[in-house]
Structures are given as structure tokens and as C-alpha cells.
């Protein structure tokens, strides 16, 4: 069954501006709401407005650039015309910041449902439904009910009236699940501050190597928090990591070994930060993005450049053999693993592990020794992965 979304964007906050324009995750609350609805599969997404200030128009334009169309309407009949007959509508309350997974969960229901919170002091700002519960700001309603509600609306608030009629029609009342965070009804920026922190904490994905789990978290956290409020796009960070890696290959080939290692070290958290920014903006990076897939080959080129320099100027052909061996076993490990989880995975060779492991060798200018170590590290990782895969470990 088709699913659309209806989002309120007309009520004022404490300062006289629109709740929809309160800042959240580097964008506006409305953009977050729209992305939640889009991630839940809702289309079209309709925003009910009374006026469209420039800041709201800018938000619509940013969404459009990202491929998400939003239709601002001030007339209920125009809103009705946007939905297919017999479709369901994800109703998002004005000023509501809800976990994305909660919106996705109720969007999967084919029947009308109203999400509720307890009627207590902590939820005093939410709209009361009865003596025991209040509306959490999310609901799924039938599009036909929107049309019949418009016929009797008069001067009443559209969302409140539609909510009441949905409840009268016997919609399921769903308390916010304990596994999901509670929605926030924002009246000012401070109301969204805690919710934003929970989003940042929730954006931490699984860490599959020791470098990202034990060494990089503080850098990654700082960079994510600082870049969240900027216009930096996640894909730019991936390209930056790729360019830094290729730059390190040039530096190694020229004999600027510490410069090459520094460039690689700077690149290590960038793809992690990019993934977190994309998650926070509800626009996850595609796994087949060219720049992301090119990071591994670019790292191999940098390693070859280091081996070439050591071969020509320091230790002879052994350094080049070690570099080629490390690349070959690393690629074999990647192919053999193919996403298979296994015990001790964080200790296997990875791009980040290899880069950070080079630092103690670089301190003593033992670059060839590093290449030999890396070849052995890659070899052990390959045989462990092969053993685990064939035993069905994971």
C-alpha cells in the first residue's frame, strides 16, 4: 500500500520563529523530519505551512538537491490532491523530533496507528489523548480520513483534528517501545540539544579494526561534532581521504617518507567521519561509491611506492618483494572474508591498522622492517581468515 507523509511546519517556537526551522544535526528540524519520512518509504512528503520564509525555502531547496521532493501547501485540499486514493499517511507533528527507526517501524503497518507517551509531567507539552496517554507526535492515518476531516475542519488545527478522528475510528494506540528513544517536542534549541547528542552517539557504527576501536574514537568524535554544523558533505571527506592517500604515494616515491606517513595518518578517520555524518543526515553513503572503493587500491599504490623507494635507495629488492607480498595477502584476505564476521576480527590487517602500525617503525627509520612486518601480518591474517571461513566460524 502506498505511503505518503504529512508534516506540520507552521507553529512558532519560543522566539517567534518556526519550530520547523530549529537547528538539528547541522540542518533544520524540518529537514530531519522529511528525511525520516523518506527513509521510511514515504512519498510524496507534504509540509503544511502558513508562510514560507527564506530559511524554510532554503531547507526545501537543500532537500531537493539531495533528491527528496517536499511539497509545501497552505490549503488542505491541495494536500489531499497529493495522495493516492486508498493510501496511508505518516503524520508527523509540528516540532516533533523522533528516532528514525520509530518512524520506520510504524510506517510498515498497513493499519492506522497512533504512537503515545505517558500522561505525566515529563510529557506535559504533548497533546493529551486521554487520562493516561498523550500523542507522541507520530501516527499513520488513512488518506480518506484526511479528506473527510477537511470537510469539517473550519478554524480547527488540521493535525489535532485529524488525530482525534483517527482515534475515534479505532486506530491502534502504540506506546513508544522501550528499545526506541522517545520523541522530543521542541520549543527551542535547548530542547533539541539532548536529542542531537543521542543522534551523535547512535551514529557510532561497529568498529572492525583495532585502530578505529582504540586509537581513533576521540578524533572521530571531535571531527563529527565539529563538521555536523557545517555544509561539508560526507562524500567530500571520502575524496579527501583518497587524495591524501594518492599524495602519500607521491611523497614515498620522492623519498619524503615521514610526509607520506603523515598524509596517510590524516586520512585514517575521514571515511569513518563521513559515514557518521551521512548517518546523522539520514543519507547513508552508497557502498559502491567510486571514491570509497578506490581507497584500498590507492593504499596499495602508496605501499608499492614505499617499497620502490626502499628497493632503490636502502635495502634492495627485498623491500619490494615484501610490499608486493603484503598487498597480495591483503587482497586475498579481503576476498576470502567477504563480510564474514569472526572472533578477533579487529586484530586482522586493515588499511587503518597498517597505517598506524607503521608509526613505531618510522620512529626508528626501519621502513624495510615495516614492509617485512606488514607482509607477515597480512599472511597471518589471510590464513586465519581462511581457517575461520572453512570452519564456519562467525
Q: What is the pLDDT of residue 179?
A: 73
Q: What is the pLDDT of residue 394?
A: 47
Residues in the chain where the model's pLDDT stays below 50: 394
CATH label, 207-391, candidates 3.30.910.10, 1.20.1330.10, 3.40.50.2020, 1.20.120.1760: 1.20.120.1760
For residue 134, the surrounding DSSP H or E stretch is: strand 133-142
- Domain regions of the chain by residue span: 3-195, 207-391
What distance lies between CA 216 and its chain's CA centroid?
A: 18
Calpha distance 349→382 (Å, rounded): 9
Q: What is the pLDDT of residue 343?
A: 81
Residue 9 · residue 30 · CB < 8 Å: yes
Assess whether the region 3-195 and the region 207-391 belong to the same CATH fold. Answer: no
Calpha distance 45→349 (Å, rounded): 45
Residue with cell 620502490: 308
CATH superfamily of domain region 3-195: Spore Coat Polysaccharide Biosynthesis Protein SpsA; Chain A (3.90.550.10)
Buried b / exposed e along 160-176 (16+ C-beta atoms within 10 A): eebbbbbbeeebebbeb
User: ∠ CA 25-26-31 to the nearest 5 degrees?
Assistant: 75
Q: What is the pLDDT of residue 158?
A: 83
**Residues 93-104: tens digit of each pLDDT:** 999 999 989 999
Calpha distance 114→188 (Å, rounded): 25
**Residues 181-218: tens digit of each pLDDT:** 889 999 888 888 888 888 888 888 778 899 999 999 99
pTM of the model: 0.81
Calpha distance 179→341 (Å, rounded): 25
Amino acid at each position: 500500500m502506498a505511503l505518503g507523509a504529512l508534516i506540520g511546519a507552521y507553529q512558532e517556537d519560543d522566539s517567534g520563529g518556526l519550530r520547523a526551522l530549529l537547528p538539528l544535526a547541522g540542518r533544520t528540524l524540518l529537514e530531519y523530519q522529511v528525511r525520516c519520512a523518506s527513509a521510511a518509504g514515504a512519498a510524496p512528503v507534504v509540509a503544511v505551512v502558513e508562510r514560507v520564509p527564506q530559511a524554510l525555502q532554503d531547507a526545501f531547496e537543500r532537500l531537493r538537491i539531495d533528491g527528496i521532493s517536499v511539497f509545501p501547501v497552505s490549503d488542505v485540499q491541495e494536500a489531499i490532491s497529493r495522495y493516492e486514493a486508498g493510501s496511508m499517511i505518516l503524520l508527523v507533528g509540528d516540532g516533533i523530533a523522533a528516532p528514525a527507526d520509530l518512524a520506520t517501524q510504524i510506517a510498515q503497518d498497513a493499519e492506522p496507528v497512533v504512537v503515545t507517551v505517558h500522561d505525566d509531567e515529563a510529557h506535559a507539552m504533548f497533546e493529551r489523548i486521554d487520562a493516561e496517554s498523550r500523542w507522541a507526535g507520530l501516527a499513520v492515518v488513512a488518506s480518506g480520513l484526511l479528506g473527510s476531516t477537511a470537510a469539517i475542519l473550519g478554524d480547527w488545527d488540521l493535525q489535532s483534528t485529524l488525530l482525534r478522528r483517527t482515534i475515534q475510528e479505532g486506530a491502534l494506540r502504540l506506546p513508544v517501545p522501550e528499545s526506541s528513544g522517545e520523541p522530543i517536542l521542541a520549543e527551542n534549541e535547548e530542547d533539541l540539544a539532548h536529542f542531537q547528542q543521542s543522534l551523535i552517539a547512535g551514529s557510532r557504527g561497529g568498529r572492525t579494526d583495532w585502530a578505529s576501536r582504540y586509537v581513533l574514537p576521540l578524533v572521530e568524535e571531535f571531527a563529527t561534532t565539529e563538521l555536523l554544523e557545517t555544509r561539508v558533505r560526507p562524500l567530500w571527506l571520502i575524496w579527501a581521504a583518497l587524495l591524501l592517500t594518492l599524495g602519500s604515494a607521491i611523497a614515498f616515491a620522492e623519498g619524503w617518507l615521514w610526509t607520506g606517513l603523515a598524509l596517510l595518518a590524516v586520512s585514517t578517520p575521514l571515511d569513518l567521519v563521513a559515514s557518521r555524518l551521512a548517518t546523522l543526515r539520514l543519507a547513508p553513503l552508497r557502498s559502491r561509491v567510486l571514491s570509497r572503493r578506490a581507497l584500498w587500491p590507492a593504499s596499495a599504490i602508496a605501499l608499492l611506492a614505499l617499497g620502490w623507494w626502499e628497493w632503490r635507495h636502502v635495502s634492495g629488492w627485498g623491500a619490494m618483494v615484501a610490499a608486493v607480498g603484503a598487498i597480495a595477502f591483503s587482497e586475498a584476505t579481503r576476498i576470502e572474508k567477504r563480510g564474514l564476521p569472526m572472533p578477533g576480527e579487529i586484530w586482522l590487517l586493515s588499511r587503518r591498522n597498517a597505517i598506524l602500525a607503521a608509526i613505531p617503525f618510522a620512529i626508528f627509520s626501519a621502513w624495510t622492517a615495516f614492509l617485512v612486518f606488514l607482509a607477515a601480518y597480512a599472511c597471518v591474517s589471510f590464513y586465519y581468515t581462511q581457517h575461520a571461513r572453512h570452519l564456519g566460524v562467525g
